[in-house]
Amino acid sequence: MSDENTEYDPHSGVETTGHSWDGIKELNNPLPRWWLIVWYATIFWAVIYMILMPAWPALPGLGGTNTPGLLGKSDRAEVTKEVSAMRTERGVASQKLMSASLVEIQNDLNLQQFAMAMGESAFGDNCATCHGSGGRGAKGYPMLADDVWLWDGTLDGIEQTIRHGIRHDSDDLTRMSAMPAFGRDNLLTSTQIDDLVQHVLSFSDRQSNADSAARGSVLFASQCVSCHGADAKGSRLVGAPNLTDAEWLFGGEPADIRATVTNARNAHMPAWQGRLDDPTVKALAVYVHSLGGGE
C-alpha cells in the first residue's frame, strides 16, 4: 500500500494491510519478537543439522545415497552394530543352552529366562498362527496352556514333538497314529455311527439314547478300544484322546463327534527340526512347558 493510500484503523491507530473480509480489516501488526527469534533459531538449527548429519537424499554424484554429514553418523550402521552385538551375546547363551539338559535349564534362572524369551519370540513367529497367542489353541488346534496332552507333556516329550512333528511323513521319528474314517471308508454304516456317537456321549455323563448307546458299546469294544482303551481314557502312546472329560479338540457336540467318526481327524504338525536350530527348539520346549500345562 502506498503512503498516499495508507489507511489506519480508527480504533487502534494501527495501519491496515488493505485486506478486508466481511467488513473486517486486517491490521498490519508486526510479528511477535519471541516468534521471530524461534523461527530464525529453527532455520539456523536446520542448516547446522544438514551440515553435520545425513540429510539430502540422492543428490547427483552421491551414488544414489544421501549426504553423509560431517559427523558421519549412520542409523543403519548403529543398528548393524547392535544386531551384531546381540547375535554375539545370543550365540554365547545359545551354546550354554545346547550343552545344558532341559532340567538344568529349568534350574538355572539366567538360562531359563533366556530360553523363555527366545522361546516366546519363536512361538510368536512359528506357532501362534495355529495354537494362538499364549497357546490358547482353537478348534482343531490343541490348547497348550492346560494340562491335557494327547502325546507327552514332559519337557523331553514336548521337545520330541517339536523336533519331529505329528504325522510328518518325511520324518522317521515323527509321532504317528491314524484313526480310521469309519464312515468315509464304509467301515461302519450310518446307523452304527449314530450308535457309536451315543455311546461316546455317555462316557462324560451327557444326555444320550440308552438303547443306541448300548448298541454302540459293542462297536466301541470292537473298533475303538485298541486306541482309546476299555475305559475310554485314551492313550498317549498313539495320541488317542480321553473321551471321558470335557476337552474336545474338534468339538464335542453330537454332530462334531459324528463328523470325527465318519471322516477321522488325523491332524498334521510339521517337524521343526531343520527349520529351527537346536537352541530354538529347546527354548520352545521350555516356553511351551511353562504355559501352564507342562508336566
Residue 168 assigned as binding residue: no
Alpha carbon distance 71, 77 (integer Å): 13
Residue 1 assigned as binding residue: no
* Cα atoms in the Cβ-side hemisphere of radius 13 Å centred on 207: 1
Residue 224 assigned as binding residue: yes
Cell of 125: 513367529
Cell of 18: 488493505
- For 29, 102, 175, 250, 268, the CA distances from 171, given in Å and listed in that order, are 83, 23, 9, 25, 12
Residue 164 assigned as binding residue: no
Residue 269 assigned as binding residue: yes
User: Of all helices (H) and strands (E), which one includes residue 21?
Assistant: strand 16-21
Residue 50 assigned as binding residue: no
Any idea what the Cα angle at residue 169 is, between residues 99 and 127, rounded to 5°?
55
Bridging pattern class, strands 24-27 and 16-21: antiparallel
Alpha carbon distance 189, 187 (integer Å): 7
Question: Closest by alpha carbon to 154, among 270, 291, 285?
Answer: 285
Contact between 279 and 89 under an 8 Å Cβ cutoff? The reply is no
Question: Closest by alpha carbon to 143, among 154, 128, 155?
Answer: 128
Residue 227 assigned as binding residue: yes
Known binding-site positions: 127, 130-131, 179, 224, 227-228, 269
Give the annotated binding-site residues for heme c. 127, 130-131, 179, 224, 227-228, 269
